[in-house]
Amino acid sequence: MNNRFNKSMTGAALAMAIGMATPVLASQSADAYPADCPAIFHHTMKQLHSNKMLNLCDVTDGKPVLLVNTASHCGFTDQFGDLEALHKKYKDRGLVVLGVSSDSFNQEADDEAEAADVCYKNFGVTFTMLSTVPVKGDEAHPLFQEVARQDQFPRWNFYKFLISADGKVESSNSSFRMPDEDIIEQLLVTESE
């Protein structure tokens, strides 16, 4: 490794120069998030195949969330269509569908452009998709660490977690099941009262 780095390099530039991956989450102080935003969403993450950083408090906007970890080479990728249908059905009533790309089960494309093509072009996804992060174990992104603290880590791709507007994991669904729409309806009714 060449030790002659320009002293003005940023940490990310230095990491890229020595071949390390660039972090996909930005550190922000706790006061960067609204006081009424649940701590589970106190994260800023990169949008899939974009340079845009998204504040999850802004994305969730005090609404119930359907959080799902995705992978473009998984046998369950056709669920992108089912998730998009839920998004279209419930978005105007307040449900936020939030997809998070992950290679924790070794089934995500190495190229983020390919992962984006699978969800956006192949399945017409319009809900928010975030860049690839680990979703299980010690390396899991803090969002999924909190999900696991309340419930469990995803056991495979396309695990689905319904999270109330106040940040409580209300239910989890395996890769084989879509969330029960009665639970979604109950969350939406509760949030509108």
pLDDT, residue 31, reads 58
pLDDT at 184: 96
pTM across the whole model: 0.84
| Three-state secondary-structure class, residue 160 | strand
Q: Give the pLDDT of residue 3.
A: 38
For position 15, what pLDDT does the model report?
34
Find, among 126, 71, 119, 128, the residue nearest to 99 by Cα.
128
Give me the pLDDT at residue 19, please: 36
pLDDT values of the chain reduced to their tens digit, one per residue, 193 residues: 333 333 333 333 333 333 333 334 444 555 589 999 999 999 999 999 999 999 999 999 999 999 999 999 999 999 999 999 999 999 999 999 999 999 999 999 999 999 999 999 999 999 999 999 999 999 999 999 999 999 999 999 999 999 999 999 999 999 999 999 999 999 998 776 6
pLDDT of residue 56: 97
Residue ranges of domains in the chain, CATH in brackets: 38-192 (3.40.30.10)
Burial 151-170 (b: 16+ CB within 10 A, else e): bebbebbbbbbbbbbebebb
Neighbours of 26 (CB within 10 A): 14
**What pLDDT is stored for residue 7 in this prediction?**
35
Catalytic-role residue among 37, 57, 74, 119? 74
Q: Is 74 a catalytic residue?
A: yes
Residue at 62: amino acid letter: G
